[in-house]
Structures are given as C-alpha cells and as structure tokens.
Amino acid sequence: MTPILTATPGYIGEVAATPHPAENVVIGTQGWSFESWAGVFYPKGLPAAERLAWYSRTFNGVEVNTSFHAVPSVAAVRNWKSATPAAFTFALKMSRSITHEGRLRDPEPELSSFLNAAAELGSKLGAVLVQLPPSFGAIDLPALDRFLQRLPVHEMRFCVEVRRPELRSPGVRELLRRRGAGLVSTNLTSAPGEIDVVNDLVYLRLLGPRQVPGQLPGIPADEPDFGAFRRQAGSWAAALRLALASPSSGRITAFGFAANDFFGPGFLPATYLMKQLGHPVYLPAGSFLEAPVQGTLL
C-alpha cells in the first residue's frame, strides 16, 4: 500500500531545530523570471537573462512553468542548463497541448518534442510534472494508464498532479505505482503536512488562490497571515523530512516548489522551507537580504 505521511504542527519545532540538512531534496519556486522580484530578490537593473544564474545561488531547483504554455526550444533548454551550477535541478511542467488540450490522447508529435527538449537537461532534469486538467475525472483514467505506458519512466521521473479530490484514491495511487510515476501533493488537495510517497518520489506544490471545484480554499493573496504561514510551511517541511526518512526499498527523492502567490512572493516560502529542513540559505548581497520583509517571515 502506498504510504501517506502526515506531520502535525506539533512537529514543527523539532524540524526547525535539527542540525542536519535533509538530503536528496530539491527546493525552489514555480518560475524565476518575475518582474515583481526586481529590486527585492534580484538587484535593481539585473538583466532578465541573468536572473536564473542569480536564482541558482539561493535555490537548488526550479519548476519551469513556461514549458506548460509551449514546448521549450532546445536552445532555451541548453541556456538554462549552462546558466546553473552542476548540482542544480529542473522540473519541467508538461505542455498543456498534451495534458489539457489533448487530454493525454494521441499526444504525438508534441510528446516526442517535449521529451527531446527535456532530455537536453541530462542529469539536471529532476522530474516532469504532468498536471491533469480539473475536468479530468475517473472516466478518463484509462487514457492516463495508456499515456503512462508511453513514457520513458526508466530514463526520467514523472509525477502526476490530479485536480479532482476523487482521484486521490488508493486505486489511482496503485495505477501510478504500477506505471512508475509519482503523485503530486498540493495544499489544495491535502491538509497541511499530508504528503504522498509513490515510487520513492515526493512532489509538493504550494499554491495560492485557485478556483478549482472540490479543492481546499487557497491562500487569500491580499491577506497575509504570518502565523498561518509559519504553521503551514512548518507542517509541510516536517512532512518532507518525515518522507525522506521513511523506510523504503529505494532512496526517496523529494521536490518542493512554492508558487509566487503562496503567502506572498514565492522566494519567501521556499527559503523558509529550506531553513526548516536545515539547509543554509544564501542570499547574495543586493537581494532582499537587506529588506525589512526578511525578518518578518524568516
């Protein structure tokens, strides 16, 4: 049976106090090229082409959402790869032409193009995020099964995000287990600290306001509650550490990415997760290191 691990808020202090960094965990944000970060996370005047390199000084991974809107060019992927250090990791969100418009049916030639672009990252490719549309329900599971059988799961990691609560079922977890894919956990589909481990993969997405029927309410973008932020982020960090330490037949790999509207700018919850997991947070001079907001959340 696929484990579902839950960490309660009472575990937060223990996690925060641990002196040993959690291993095999990738933490970052869902994108890096946000104009609102200029002069806050990025120094004023930093060219857009240099943002990824600057970002990679703080975080060890990023979820690429531009790949959802269009298959990235090989040249773009090579630029991402060359701009980041050797240990940096990318998660690519599969193109919507495959997941939302095609609904996983007859995915060629877009699937081949996407996988070829992803392969350009080599060892820097951490996982491919396959996000299903909100209308994708139980009746569509045969299409998901056929689609997963087409994927090179022995060469790349794939994690599936279901948007309907009824798809977070033992049957779907077993389907993913058999097909070699992971299951994405989000704060909209799971209570704080509840994380799925499927095929030694953990993939956590922290999201802000979303209008998806049947999901938990998102975080009001204009009502930051720093106490709630600490409780939620602490619970998710505790769950990540618990997942990484759980008995398993293999080594568990965990990914955690914060959206840019989860309790404010995404770099804040992402750096908070890093601190809770015992990882040092390096903030280059000229970033928000010197801004008052740092002490508020971190």
Q: Is the pLDDT of residue 284 over 70?
A: no
Identify the burial level of 202 via C-beta atoms within 10 angstroms of its C-beta, where 0-12 means exposed, 13-18 middle and 19 or more buried.
buried
| Integer Cα distance of 243 and 132 in angstroms | 24
Confidence of residue 130 (pLDDT cuts 50, 70, 90): very high
Using a pLDDT cut of 70, give the percent of the chain over it: 82
Q: Annotate 164-193 with b (16+ C-beta within 10 A) or e (fewer).
A: beebbeeebbebbeebbbbbbbbbbbbebb
Which tens digit of pLDDT belongs to each residue from 77-129?
Answer: 999 999 999 999 999 999 999 999 999 999 999 999 999 999 999 999 999 99
Which tens digit of pLDDT belongs to each residue from 201-255?
Answer: 999 999 987 655 555 555 554 555 677 788 888 899 999 998 888 776 678 999 9
Using a pLDDT cut of 90, give the percent of the chain over it: 63
Residue type, 281: V
Domains of the chain (ranges; CATH) run 4-297 (3.20.20.410)
Which tokens in the block code for residue 242? 């618990």
pTM of the predicted structure, to 2 decimals: 0.87
pLDDT of residue 105: 96
Q: Put residue 161 in one of left, alpha, beta given phi > 0 → left and psi -120 to 50 → alpha.
A: beta
Do the beta carbons of residue 163 and residue 133 sit within 8 Å? yes
pLDDT of residue 293: 40
